[in-house]
Amino acid sequence: MEHQEVIPLMTPYKMGQFELSHRVVLASMTRCRAYGYVPQPHTAVYYSQRATRGGLLITEGTGVSATAQGFPGSPGIWTPEQVAAWKPVVDAVHLKGALFFCQIAHVGRVSTNDFQPDGQAPISSTDKQLSPDAESGTVYSKPRRLRADEISGIVDDFRRAARNAIEAGFDGVEIHGAHGFLFEQFMKDSANDRTDEYGGSLENRCRFTVEVVDAIVQELGAHRVGIRLSPFADYMDCVDSDPVALGHYMIQQLNKHKDFLYCHIVEPRMAIVDGHKQIPHRLLPFRKAFNGTFIAAGGYDREEGNKVMAEGYTDLIAYGRLFLANPDLPRRFELDAPLNKYDRSTFYTQDPVIGYTDYPFLEDDDNNESN
Ligand SMILES: Cc1cc2nc3c(=O)[nH]c(=O)nc-3n(C[C@H](O)[C@H](O)[C@H](O)COP(=O)(O)O)c2cc1C
C-alpha cells in the first residue's frame, strides 16, 4: 500500500497520564437536548458517535447547581438522578476508547427568574442586568449580587459537581471559565463592579475562579482538571480592558498546581484580512507560559489546524461546529474527505435526532464502528 504521511493533527500526544491518539478534540457545545436537565439515551448516541480510540471529548456546559441553569435542556450534574443518567453516556464513550471530560458550568446572570429556584433572581458578581440577546430575543433577568459570604457556597457547588463527574465515570472536568458566564462576570472589569475582596484589582477579580480551581484540584487531583478561558471574548457584556494580563494572571495561578492538566483558550473573533476570514492567533504567549497541555479553539479547520500544530502553536485543537456536523471528523481529516455543513437552525433545538444524531458518517466507513 502507498505510504500516506500522517498529518500533524493525527499524531499521538500524551496529556498528563492520558494517551491520546490524535489532536482533534470535541469542544464543549450546549445542545439543549437533556430534558429536565437530565441527560437522555440520545445524549449517549451523540457523544459515542463522536468518540474515537484515544480521542478527547468535552461535554456541553453542565450545570453545577439549581442556580446554574439558563438554557432549556442543558444538563446538570448536581442531583443523584443526573449523575446516574450520565453513567451510560460516559460508558458509551469509553466503550469506543475515548476520554471524556465534563465541562462544569454556572451561567450566573445569563439566565432568567424562570430558570431559578422559586423564581428568584439569577446570581452574579453584580446587579447589572445583561442586555437582551438580539438574535434569540431573550431578555435576561436582573441579577442579584452575591454577598462575599455566599461565595464559598458556590465554590462548594463546583467541588461537589466535580466529585459527581468522577462518580459518573468521567476522566476529568473542564471548568467553564469562558464566554461571559459566572466566572467571567467576576474576572472581567466590564462586568465586575464590586468593591470587596472579589472586585477591583485583577487578583481580586480572579479570586473566585482561583478558589474554585484550588478546591477542585484538592478534590480530584490536578491531573484530572482543565479550565477553559476566553480572555479576548466579548460575549454577554463581559469584556476585559487588559485580556493579556488576565490570561497571564490565570495561567500563573494554574501553574501553582503541579500537573494541572490543561488550559483551553478560545481565540479572539475572526478578523477579516484581505477579504478573508482569519484566526488572529493571539494564544502563543499563553501557551509558552503554561506548564501543562494547551488547547486552542475558535475557527479552526483541517488546514489551519495542521499548520499551527506543525508550528508548535498548541498541543491540541478543540473543534466545535465542524465536529457537531461531522461525527467522524478525525477520520475525515485523516482522509482529507469532504465535510458535512452544519445547520445553525438546529444547534439549540430539542429534537433527539434532527440536527443532533443524524449528521451522516462517511459512507464507506460503516458508521465509524471500526474506530
Ligand atoms: C451550538 C454551540 C454551543 C456551544 N456551547 C458551548 C458550551 O456549552 N461551552 C463552551 O465553552 N463553549 C460552547 N460553544 C463554543 C464552542 O465550544 C467553540 O469554542 C466555538 O464553536 C468556536 O469553535 P469552532 O469555530 O470550531 O466552532 C458552543 C458553540 C456552539 C456552536
Residues in the chain, how many?
A: 371
Task: Give the mean pLDDT of the chain.
Answer: 95
Residue 111's pLDDT band, with cuts at 50, 70 and 90, is: very high
Ligand 1 atom at minimum distance from 342 CA = 31
- C-alpha cell belonging to residue 296: 486552542
In this predicted structure, the answer to whether residue 274 has a pLDDT above a threshold of 80 is no
* Ligand 1 residue neighbourhood (C-beta within 6 Å): 27-30, 60-61, 103, 176, 178-179, 228, 266, 297-300, 319-322, 347
Separation of alpha carbons 103 and 172, rounded Å:
9
- C-alpha 324 – ligand 1 centre gap (Å): 9
In this predicted structure, the answer to whether residue 127 has a pLDDT above a threshold of 90 is yes
pLDDT in tens, 284-299: 999 999 999 999 999 9
In this predicted structure, the answer to whether residue 279 has a pLDDT above a threshold of 50 is yes
Residue in the structure block whose three cell numbers are 470535541: 26
Answering whether pTM is above 0.95, one says yes
Q: Are 68 and 106 in contact (CB under 8 A)?
A: yes
Ligand 1 atom at minimum distance from 174 CA = 11
- C-alpha 239 – ligand 1 centre gap (Å): 18
Separation of alpha carbons 140 and 132, rounded Å:
6
pLDDT in tens, 145-200: 999 999 999 999 999 999 999 999 999 999 999 999 999 999 999 999 999 999 99
Give the mean pLDDT of 211-219.
98
Q: Which protein residue's CA is at the shortest distance from atom 29 of ligand 1?
A: 29
- Whole-number pLDDT of residue 370: 44
Separation of alpha carbons 140 and 177, rounded Å:
20
CATH H superfamily, domain 8-346? Aldolase class I (3.20.20.70)
As a three-state string, the secondary structure of the chain is: CCCCCCCHHHCCEEECCEEECCCEEECCCCCCCCHHHCCCHHHHHHHHHCCCCCCEEECCCEECCCCCCCCCCCCECCCHHHHHHHHHHHHHHHHCCCEEEEEEECCCCCCCHHHCHHHCCCEECCCCCCCCCCCCCCCCCCCEECCHHHHHHHHHHHHHHHHHHHHCCCCEEEEEECCCCHHHHHHCCCCCCCCCCCCCCHHHHHHHHHHHHHHHHHHHCHHHEEEEECCCCCHHHCCCCCHHHHHHHHHHHHHCCCCCCEEEEECCCCEEECCEEECCCCCHHHHHHCCCEEEEECCCCHHHHHHHHHCCCCCEEEECHHHHHCCCHHHHHHHCCCCCCCCHHHCCCCCCCCCCCCCCCCHHHHHHCCC
Ligand 1 atom at minimum distance from 299 CA = 25
Domain extent listing, the chain: 8-346
- C-alpha 171 – ligand 1 centre gap (Å): 21
